[in-house]
Amino acid sequence: MKQIGVCLSSCPSGYYGTRYPDINKCTKCKADCDTCFNKNFCTKCKSGFYLHLGKCLDSCPEGLEANNHTMECVSIGEKGL
């Protein structure tokens, strides 16, 4: 992977690897995303956001509740697990 002119074995936190036949590079995750798998799938959100199905949300959808320990949206009643 290439990041600012330097070859790396993997991309740093906050970036994901983009691979093409002629170039491999690190691309920045979306602004609300701390780590991501690709441009559309976040694996950890920045502070103040909750992870739900690969997206970072400022509040959880109806029927789900925020787990402030994991910073994920979980089924109601699943919070303590």
Domain membership flag for residue 10: yes
Residue 24 lies in a domain: yes
Residue 4 pLDDT greater than 80, yes or no? no
Q: Give Cα separations from 43 to 1, 24, 78 (angstroms).
A: 20, 21, 19
Report how far residue 78's alpha carbon sits from residue 46's, in angstroms, rounded to the nearest whole number: 22
Total count of domains within the chain? 1
What is the reported pTM? 0.78
Task: Tell me the residue range of the domain where 26 lies.
Answer: 2-75
Can you give the CATH number for the domain in which 17 is found?
A: 2.10.220.10
CA–CA separation, 47 and 80 (whole Å): 20
pLDDT digits (tens, 9 = 90+) for 8-48: 788 888 999 988 888 888 999 999 999 999 999 999 999 99
> Residue 81 pLDDT > 60, yes or no?
no
pLDDT for 77 beyond 90: no
Q: Roughly how many angstroms between the first and final C-alpha of the chain, as a whole number? A: 37
